[in-house]
Amino acid sequence: MSKYSALDGAIMSAIKGGHMEFKVIANLPYVSKEANYLVTNVSAKPGWRFVDARLQALRKDGQIKFQRKSKTHAEGWIFVDAVKS
């Protein structure tokens, strides 16, 4: 189990609701709580940096994708499976 598992779970829960912008995800209470835990116990960098790094790690792992705004879609983070439908 990774030290980032709780934060990853919180981020994935946030995205489950649909397209989510970074600032919305980072400011959700359950996401910021996990990020602040890492600030206290892992590194003194700002909590939003943990959220950003984990979003990128989840993207590189193929679980999520950032979708640009278009006529039919809002801009934000979505599950990769949502892109296929």
Q: What is the CA radius of gyration of the chain?
A: 13
In this structure, the number of other CB atoms found within 10 A of the CB of residue 19 comes to 16
Domains and CATH numbers, the chain: 5-84 (1.10.10.10)
pLDDT attached to residue 70: 85
pLDDT attached to residue 85: 46
Beta strands in the chain (DSSP E): 64-67, 76-79
* pLDDT tens string 54-74: 999 999 999 999 999 888 888
* pLDDT tens string 6-59: 999 999 999 997 768 999 999 999 999 999 999 999 988 999 999 999 999 999
Q: At a CB cut-off of 8 Å and minimum separation 6, what does 73 contact?
A: 19, 67
Question: The whole model's pTM is what?
Answer: 0.88
Cα of 32 vs its chain's centroid, Å: 11
Length of the chain as a residue count: 85
Cα of 47 vs its chain's centroid, Å: 12
pLDDT attached to residue 44: 87
pLDDT attached to residue 82: 60
